[in-house]
Amino acid sequence: MNKFMVTTAIDYVNGAPHIGHAYEKILTDVLFRHFKQRVEKTFFLTGVDEHGIKIQKTAASLNIAPKELCDKNADQFKQCWELLDINYDKFIRTTDEDHKKIVQEIFEKLLEKGDIYKHKYEGLYCSGCECFLSEKDLDENGCCPIHGKKPELVSEENYFFKLTKYKDAIIKHIKENPDFIMPSFRANEVLNQLENIEDISVSRAKTNVNWGIEVKSDPTQVIYVWIDALSNYITALGYNPNDESDEKFKTFWPANFQIIGKDILKFHSIYWIAILMALGVELPKTIYAHGWITIDKNKMSKSTGNVISPKTVMDAFELKEPDAFRYFMCTSAQGGKDGNYSDEDFKERVNADLANNMGNLLNRTLNMLTKYFDGNILAQHICEGELTKASIETISKVKEHFDKVELSEAAAEIISLVDMANKYVNDNAPWTLAKEGKMDECGKVLYSILDLMTKVAVLIYPYCPNIAQKMAQQLKIDINMNLDELSAKMIKEGKLIEKSEIQPVFLRMDSEFAVKK
């Protein structure tokens, strides 16, 4: 792999960002930071979706222009990602002029090719999903199962995309590429949806929806949200259907991972793929559908009033840095399954893993090094042992989990290594060895722990960049090193640390010291 590109779904800006939006962005950022430790050329794309009937209606209800609503809410998403240390390369807005122009060209290209045609249609339209639904898509009450509302009966003349033309090719691609849809249990879900697909509407009459990108050759129509929104993944890279694509597109596309929520898997694994096939553009390597985050075991809902923002959580626990929240989000669910947030679970897990285990191990080991050896690493203490082997094996295990977007499982491997080190230090009791005058044995135990912690710091960095940086400073290593550079005996002979330099890397959240002053 000589390049790595990852994308998130672009968030709809008819409301403020909440913990569900944050979950996806944190997962993607952690994935991205890990691959930056392995690959030289990387690109992380995120952004917002700003067109469609919901924005039009919300803006009208507030008596403001749609663009004004979009500007305000797009800024809220940017501020939230900054708060959470989301390290993206590009934040695309579908109101960006270059995006709009390319989307128009994509539409014209498909029209010219005959893959888009005009057709009069009457159907059930869910404004929440921004799509037409069939009777079989509805629940027993005739409502959209996702949004809980009855769709509107809409009759108008629209442009349609020949989705059915690409049905067999999509089925073949899914079956021949087992890593195309992750987790693997989602592939059958998509194959079942493909059985009954129909051609899809890709425009709306301007008389019904005027907040959108005009069809270049027919200004009475606006381009339907899925061609507009989905195309962001390539317009952001400077793709042009007229063979004038930017170097960035040629370098980074196809995306290695497209991270989305399970509720929009159909649109990405069927609609998006068919559009790319029609354009003759290479398909993404993997579409990964994550689960949802519930709040205290309940689905988030405005009506129940349990929608919470990341800032609310950080303010409640008086966290100056997002590391604890990032770590919890990534460990709240196994790959692709639903996770749950509760204040108690949050506090319990991060205290156990980050404060009691990882942070405390480093702190007490460095204190013993200054107490017994004045902070020096002596030549006779540099060694390799069982912890060295375990830490090198953990690097490989973590890589394997990240290759499958198993971030919770990768974190468990790192914490398991820390647990092993805690057991090792307790079993070997360096304080007892020092008391008995066995200083070389004591020094080797401390060295083994500290050398292991260099691997832990680099591996935990994608989850907890601020904590990892503090660890790296005290261990005198470069936190930005490539994973291939991690090896045995990272800590060299000489002065490692002064007692005054030793600082806790993460305080327990119920500690009297873990409060803003």
**Which range of residues forms the domain containing residue 389?**
343-501
Query: How many Cβ atoms are within 10 Å of 515's Cβ, its own excluded?
Result: 11
Catalytic residue, chosen from 70, 129, 330, 464, is: 129
Q: Sort strands 286-290 and 11-12 into parallel, antiparallel or unpaired.
A: unpaired
- Please indicate whether residue 464 is annotated as part of the active site: no
Q: Compute the distance between CA of residue 55 and CA of residue 61 in angstroms, rounded to an integer.
A: 10
Token pair for 143 = 């409502």
User: pLDDT tens for residues 370-400?
Assistant: 999 999 999 999 999 999 999 999 999 999 9
- Please indicate whether residue 126 is annotated as part of the active site: yes
Shortest CA distance to 34 belongs to which of 490, 477, 468, 488? Answer: 468
- Please indicate whether residue 129 is annotated as part of the active site: yes
DSSP 298: B
- Kindly give the parts of the chain with pLDDT less than 70: 130, 302-304, 511-517
Catalytic residue, chosen from 120, 297, 302, 517, is: 302
Asked whether residue 160 is assigned to any structural domain, the reply reads no
Q: Sort strands 152-161 and 200-201 into parallel, antiparallel or unpaired.
A: antiparallel
Catalytic residue, chosen from 72, 299, 423, 489, is: 299
- Please indicate whether residue 216 is annotated as part of the active site: no
Shortest CA distance to 333 belongs to which of 227, 183, 228? Answer: 183
3-state percent breakdown (helix, strand, coil) of the chain, nearest 5: 50, 15, 35
Q: Compute the distance between CA of residue 231 and CA of residue 94 in angstroms, rounded to an integer.
A: 9
Q: Give the CA distances from residue 138 to residues 229, 241, 350, in Å, rounded to whole numbers and listed in that order.
A: 24, 36, 41
Asked whether residue 493 is assigned to any structural domain, the reply reads yes
- Please indicate whether residue 302 is annotated as part of the active site: yes
Token pair for 137 = 């898509």
Taking a C-beta distance cutoff of 8 angstroms, is the pair 161, 123 a contact? Answer: no
Buried b or exposed e, range 226-251, using 16+ CB within 10 angstroms: bbbbbbbbbbbbbbbbeeebeebbee
Work out whether the CA dihedral 402, 408, 410, 414 comes out positive or negative: positive
Q: Give the CA distances from residue 179 to residues 253, 292, 300, in Å, rounded to whole numbers and listed in that order.
A: 17, 21, 30
Query: What φ, ψ does residue 77 adopt, rounded to 5°?
Result: -65, -45
Helix axes 465-475, 323-331, angle to 10 degrees: 110
Q: Compute the distance between CA of residue 196 and CA of residue 487 in angstroms, rounded to an integer.
A: 53
Catalytic residue, chosen from 36, 70, 80, 126, is: 126
Token pair for 94 = 């579908």
Q: Give the CA distances from residue 117 to residues 101, 169, 515, in Å, rounded to whole numbers and listed in that order.
A: 20, 20, 62
Instruction: Write down the residue that tokens 């809980």 correspond to.
Output: 148
Shortest CA distance to 162 belongs to which of 214, 109, 198? Answer: 198
Instruction: Write down the residue that tokens 């004591």 correspond to.
Output: 442
Identify the pLDDT of residue 512.
45
Asked whether residue 124 is assigned to any structural domain, the reply reads no
Shortest CA distance to 257 belongs to which of 175, 171, 180? Answer: 180
Query: How many Cβ atoms are within 10 Å of 200's Cβ, its own excluded?
Result: 21
Amino acid at 256: N
Asked whether residue 509 is assigned to any structural domain, the reply reads no
- Please indicate whether residue 144 is annotated as part of the active site: yes
Buried b or exposed e, range 277-304, using 16+ CB within 10 angstroms: bbbebebbebbbbbbbbbbeeeebeeee
Token pair for 72 = 């305000």
Asked whether residue 443 is assigned to any structural domain, the reply reads yes
Sequence-ordered list of residues with C-beta below 8 angstroms from that of 429, at least 6 positions apart, any chain = none
Token pair for 226 = 């899925």
* Planar angle of CA 29, 30, 34, nearest 5 degrees: 115
User: Rounded to the nearest 10 degrees, how much is the dihedral formed by the CA atoms of 464, 466, 468, 473?
Assistant: 180
- DSSP notation for 345-373: HHHHHHIIIIIIIIIHHHHHHHHHHHHHH
Asked whether residue 359 is assigned to any structural domain, the reply reads yes
Catalytic residue, chosen from 70, 80, 144, 464, is: 144
Here the CATH number for the domain that contains residue 390 is 1.10.730.10
Identify the pLDDT of residue 303.
65
Token pair for 408 = 């919770």
Q: Compute the distance between CA of residue 514 and CA of residue 232 in angstroms, rounded to an integer.
A: 42
Radius of gyration of the chain (CA): 26
- Please indicate whether residue 381 is annotated as part of the active site: no
Q: Give the CA distances from residue 96 to residues 36, 92, 500, in Å, rounded to whole numbers and listed in that order.
A: 28, 7, 51
Asked whether residue 156 is assigned to any structural domain, the reply reads no
State the total domains in the chain.
Answer: 1
Asked whether residue 98 is assigned to any structural domain, the reply reads no
Strands (DSSP E) contained in 127-217 are: 131-133, 152-161, 181-182, 200-201, 203-205, 214-215
